């Protein structure tokens, strides 16, 4: 089952040590003739996080790693051909992404404007997996499509990026044979749960609102630590449970990599999450998880997953800055941002620029959606 049959991929290239293991691409953002406004969430989340991190001088243009789009071959590591073919129907994509007007669009536009951004975020998660192992931590500013499994999408998740990142590591990186997923998005992560249902190499901890989507009883059998929350759960109870169970999970099984699905739809007022966690609570939560990982010297990969209120991007950026202040994620040497890290994209042309010449996909511009 080892690497002999692995395909060639552009996602595992060497990254100069001057680059921070933060992965992002302007292509992440989905904007299309105002279509993003039809989705009931702040569609500018990913670009805004980057904007705030730059404003706080934590990163500069050249100092982070630019995500590449996952190719069909990359996706086939987990997805079935049948599923990928189904995405060639606009109706299927409209259903998965919950953007009904998409079904009126020709599929080539759906591919370019919706699926390509999602494939690039998926590539970003896979890249961040390798970076996490190399550097001890990595953050994909997007990704976290935890409702998608090998043969089925849903809840805005079209590609199973978490499963892909883990399978890439198992197949390609020596010494990585056990993973723990800590899924703290407000929703149950039924996608990776279905994918790893019978895989003893993967330990899944999931903390979610028990009353909301997807309520996937079959997938729940894959959860080793299941923490079901009630409507309106607040900071004290939440943080206590996160700490208790993160520590418990990592004491129970020591993984080679932690995938942390850091959804922010637990935020008070989120129309889907139904929980009542404060911005400070989210920042504290991320700190608890990183501290548990770093204290044990286990590499951690964070993805941002769901949460699309107007203030979400600010909270994610504040949390990343806090992780830095706490010494839980490092810069180069003494935490200095690389001034001239022009090689962070790996020196290879990026997939994005070819067909995307419109101004709508600029990095800090408004972007899309919901997980
Ligand atoms: Zn969610």
User: How would DSSP label each residue in 326-344?
Assistant: TTSS--BTTTBPPS--TTT
- Which range among 54-68, 93-107, 181-195, 289-303 shows the weakest confidence by mean pLDDT? 93-107
Residue 39: predicted pLDDT: 60
Instruction: In whole angstroms, give the CA distance from residue 299 to residue 293.
Output: 7
Residue 5: predicted pLDDT: 65
Distance 183 CA to ligand 1 centre (A): 10
Q: What one-character-per-residue DSSP string does 26-78 give?
A: GGG----TTGGGGSSS-TTHHHHHHHHHHHTTS--GGGEEEP-PPPHHHHTTT
Distance 352 CA to ligand 1 centre (A): 27
Q: Which of 79, 146, 147, 192 is catalytic?
A: 147
Q: Tell which phi-psi region holds residue 333, choosing left (phi > 0), alpha (psi between -120 and 50) or beta.
A: left
Q: What one-character-per-residue DSSP string does 234-300 give?
A: BHHHHHHHHHHHHHHHHHH---SEEEEE---TTBTT-TTT--BB-HHHHHHHHHHHHHHHHHHT--E
pLDDT reading at 44 higher than 80: no
Q: What three-state secondary structure class fits 236?
A: helix
Distance 307 CA to ligand 1 centre (A): 7
Top-confidence range, 160-169, 309-318, 326-335: 160-169
Side-chain-facing half-sphere of 105: CA atoms under 13 Å: 21
Please measure the distance between the N-terminal and C-terminal CA atoms of the chain and give it in whole angstroms: 32
Nearest to 128 by CA among 115, 117, 142: 142
Residue 308: predicted pLDDT: 84
69-127 pLDDT per residue, tens: 999 999 999 999 999 999 998 888 888 888 777 777 788 878 888 899 999 999 999 99
Tell whether pTM > 0.95.
no
Distance 241 CA to ligand 1 centre (A): 18
Residue 97: predicted pLDDT: 83
Distance 146 CA to ligand 1 centre (A): 8
Average pLDDT over residues 278-294: 98
Instruction: In whole angstroms, give the CA distance from residue 169 to residue 189.
Output: 20
Instruction: Report how far Cα 182 is from the mean position of its chain's Cα atoms.
Output: 12
Mean pLDDT of the chain: 87
CB-proximal residues (5 Å) to ion ligand 1: 185-187, 263, 265, 306, 371
Q: Which helix (H) or strand (E) holds 195?
A: helix 190-195
Average pLDDT over residues 201-228: 98
Distance 40 CA to ligand 1 centre (A): 14
Instruction: In whole angstroms, give the CA distance from residue 336 to residue 18.
Output: 10
pLDDT reading at 333 higher than 50: no
192 carries an active-site annotation? no
Residue 103: predicted pLDDT: 75
**Sign of the dihedral through C-alpha 128, 293, 204, 275:** negative
Distance 300 CA to ligand 1 centre (A): 20
Per-residue confidence band for 42, with pLDDT thresholds at 50, 70 and 90: low
Distance 332 CA to ligand 1 centre (A): 33
Q: Both tokens of residue 175?
A: 């010494």
Burial class (CB in 10 A: 0-12, 13-18, 19+), 93: buried
Distance 2 CA to ligand 1 centre (A): 33
Taken as a whole, the chain contains a residue count of: 371
Distance 106 CA to ligand 1 centre (A): 28
Per-residue confidence band for 363, with pLDDT thresholds at 50, 70 and 90: very low
pLDDT reading at 179 higher than 90: yes
């Amino acid at each position: 089952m080892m690497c002999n049959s692995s395909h060639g991929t552009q996602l595992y290239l060497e990254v100069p040590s001057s680059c921070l293991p933060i992965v992002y691409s302007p292509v992440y953002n989905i904007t299309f003739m105002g279509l993003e406004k039809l989705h009931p969430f702040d569609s500018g989340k990913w670009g805004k996080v980057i904007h705030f991190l730059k404003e706080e001088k934590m990163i500069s243009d050249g100092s982070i790693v630019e995500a590449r789009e996952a190719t069909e071959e990359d996706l086939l590591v987990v997805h079935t051909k049948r599923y990928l073919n189904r995405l060639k129907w606009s109706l299927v994509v409209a259903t998965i992404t919950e953007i009904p007007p998409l079904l009126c669009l020709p599929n080539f536009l759906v591919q370019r404007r919706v699926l390509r951004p999602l494939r690039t975020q998926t590539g970003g998660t896979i890249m961040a997996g390798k970076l996490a192992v190399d550097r001890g931590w990595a953050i994909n500013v997007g990704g976290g499509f935890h409702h998608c499994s090998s043969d089925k999408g849903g809840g805005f998740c079209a590609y199973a990026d978490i499963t892909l990142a883990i399978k890439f590591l198992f197949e390609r990186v020596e010494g990585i044979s056990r993973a723990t997923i800590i899924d703290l998005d407000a929703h149950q992560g039924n996608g990776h749960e279905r994918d790893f249902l019978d895989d003893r190499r993967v330990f899944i901890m999931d903390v979610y609102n028990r009353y909301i989507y997807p309520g996937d009883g079959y997938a729940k059998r894959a959860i080793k630590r299941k923490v079901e929350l009630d409507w309106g759960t607040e900071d004290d109870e939440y943080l206590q449970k996160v700490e208790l169970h993160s520590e418990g999970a990592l004491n129970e099984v020591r993984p080679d990599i932690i995938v942390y699905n850091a959804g922010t739809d637990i935020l008070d007022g989120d129309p889907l999450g139904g929980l009542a966690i404060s911005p400070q609570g989210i920042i504290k939560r991320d700190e608890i998880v990183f501290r548990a990982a770093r204290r044990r010297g286990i590499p951690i990969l964070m993805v941002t997953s769901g949460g699309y209120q107007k203030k979400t991007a600010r909270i994610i950026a504040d949390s990343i800055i806090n992780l830095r202040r706490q010494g839980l994620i490092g810069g180069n040497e003494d935490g200095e941002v690389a001034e001239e890290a022009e090689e962070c994209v790996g020196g290879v042309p990026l997939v994005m620029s070819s067909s995307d010449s419109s101004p709508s996909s600029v990095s800090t511009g408004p972007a899309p959606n919901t997980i």
